[in-house]
Structure 1
Amino acid sequence: MDPEAEYNNRARVPGSGAIIAGWAGRAAAFRARRPPEVLAYGPGPREAMDLFLPDGPPRGAALLVHGGYWQALGREWGSHWAGGLLAHGVAVALPSHDLCPGATLAGIGAQLEAAAGALHRRLGMPLLATGHSAGGHLAACLLARMPCVAAALPISGVFFLEPLLDTSVNRALGLDAAAARAASPALWPAPCKPLHAAVGGAESNEFLRQSREFAAAWDGTWEALPGLDHFTVLEPLEDPAHPLVRRAAMLAWQACAGLRIA
């Protein structure tokens, strides 16, 4: 197994740069149509989230964390991903956080905990944590650590961090083996809360393995979405009728109602 080939998704997916560049335009157009409430969760310039509220009282709430391997992007790249859940009456907040190497994984985790707490106080309901790639890792961490996070749906997440040690990703992270294990939610005690992991069916064997083994470790469920790669796997979030969005909405609704999902 070549870790660099398995985890360097920008190199692995042809046209990935154009896909990512397209996110910014689609996100800006979405914000123009539906301006968010900006909710600060800390004093730093990146410690804020864009909160999109549905028409009518929210039936649930989701914190949606961007990817970028903890070292790139921000909330302004993904506003359009809120569209599917908003149509189901779910409020969606997209937080930014500080980036490596200026920040540590522990520091970023603490920021997201502050963001989840601020969103919970703002809306007064339990949360669904979701996110893409590194955001999927952070969503899993929130499920384990935050009582206000009642369910999680990570998308193409990284839950075992040791395979990243010998890749270019780790240049900014600066992890050693002990730190990678400590930051791997798959190695933590399962939180006994609802978990569903999704991953693109056209992703690398390692990304498929990560979701499959993490879901098994935490007694959750998982699925591979046919034909989707590490970047196109986000496209379903814009479609209210897509089964992934319907599942996420159900998790958010039932989290809000305080129900345990079978």
Structure 2
Amino acid sequence: MKSLHATETCDESSSEKSSIPNDAHFHNFNGESCFDEQCRLQPLPSQIHYLWQVFLDRVHPLTKVMHAPTVQPYLVDAVCSTGSLPKGMQALIFSIFSLATLSLSEDESWTILGSSQEHAFQRFSAGLRAALQRARYLELPNLTLLQALTLYLISLQGRYGSRKPWILNTVCVRMAQKMGLHRDGELLGLSPFETEMRRRVWWQTVRLDLKSKRAWGLSPSTLPVTTDCKIPTDIDDEDLVPDAT
């Protein structure tokens, strides 16, 4: 039985792996072809609900770069098609699928997703890259896209050596700086909700950048940019209301 399972895994990796576009492939995509890839790579409706719950239980408590009650309605809409969602939210949802998959055991992945954990991760991260490309994340950055990219960087930790995460971390920090996340929202007169979300994303971005610096033997003591952004609070998502003043 074990031999049969190993054979299935091998067959899957050889026949299906080639159908998953890599990073370089997405640089040649236009918006329409990226949309086609997203539709092809998204999970089944029943799998979407399962992956979301796994993310909430196993990943979100450790990352906290998004506000789960705000994102959840979009997951309901994603059951029909992720392509119907705002472009930034499409990327964020695929990043949720990717990280949720990494928290599954191999048996859970085969039972729920019908494939190995690695193949499922490659599939959903390919959908994430397509969504980022389609949203033109480097040209038109916003907080949702930065949340998606941050979760993607978390998923890359320890997977492809330290070079790729280090380069992407630098991009992520510069995007955050361009959006002014290094400035605290209270000083800018922003709402408590927006202030907290900016803090969450900024400090998670900084943490990943410092971790990459350590991997390259660089001093981890220096922040990537001068910042007055305060540390996020420990408030629960349920107590954080978007329209609070």
Q: TM-score, normalised by structure 1?
A: 0.32
* Higher fraction of strand: 1
* Higher fraction of helix: 2
Q: TM-score, normalised by structure 2?
A: 0.33
